[in-house]
Amino acid sequence: MAERALAVAPRSSVARFAKGQVLRAQQRHDEAILEYETVIALNRNWAHSYSHLGWCKFMTGSIEALIPAQERAIRLSPRDPQIGLFYSRIGCAHLLQSRLDEAIIWCERARNATPAHPQFRTFLTAAHALKGDNDRAAAELAEARNLVWDDRYSSIARLRAVDSWGVPKIRALVEATYFAGLRKAGVPDE
C-alpha cells in the first residue's frame, strides 16, 4: 500500500514513513534508513523519523548514531506519547556500551513513561544485575514477565528467537551486556 501511495505522491512524507516502518519491521534496516532520511528531508520536524532512523543505523552497526537521534526526537516532541521509546533506546545504547549508571537513568525514565512495556523493564533488569543490585533486577524481571502473554523471558534462547539484533557487531554487544545481565538476574540459557 505504501508503494501504491508513493506511485501517486512520491514526495509524501506519510507514505515514505509508512514504507520505512514496513522495511524496519521486515529487518531491512539499510532500506529503511533511506526512507527515514527522505521523510526528514521532506519534514525536518518528524520526531519518530529521527528515532527510527537512529534505531536502523544502530541495527546496521552504527551504535554511535542511536543516542543523538533519540535526543533529537525528544527535543522535537518532549511530550510525545511514545517518549518512553526514545528514552529506552538511549538506555539500550548505554547498556550495550556498559555505561550502567547512564543506562539505569534512561531505562528508569522509559519505565516510568511507559510502565506496561516489558522490554524497557528487561533493559533495566540487565543494568541492575550487571551493577550487582539483584533485588531490583529480580523485581523488574518479575514485572516484565507479568506484562507479556508468552514465555519470551523464560530463557535467553527464547529471547533470541523473538528479537532480532541486527549485524554481528550489535549481536555481540547484546550478548556481552543485555543477555549477560539477564543471566545474572536468573534467566537461564535454555
Q: What is the pLDDT of residues 10-38, one digit of tens each?
A: 788 999 999 999 999 999 999 999 999 99
Q: Which residues contact 99 (CB under 8 A, 6 or more apart)?
A: none
Instruction: Give me the domains of the chain, ranges plus CATH numbers.
Output: 1-70 (1.25.40.10), 81-190 (1.25.40.10)
The reported pTM is 0.95
Share of residues in the chain with pLDDT > 70 (%): 100
CA distance 6 to 3: 5
Q: Give the number of C-alpha atoms closer than 13 A to the C-alpha of residue 4, restricted to the C-beta side.
A: 1
**Count of C-beta atoms within a 10 Å radius of residue 47:** 20
Q: Which residue has the cell 533493559?
A: 123
Q: Helices 47-59 and 29-42: crossing angle, nearest 10°? A: 150
Average pLDDT over residues 115-142: 98
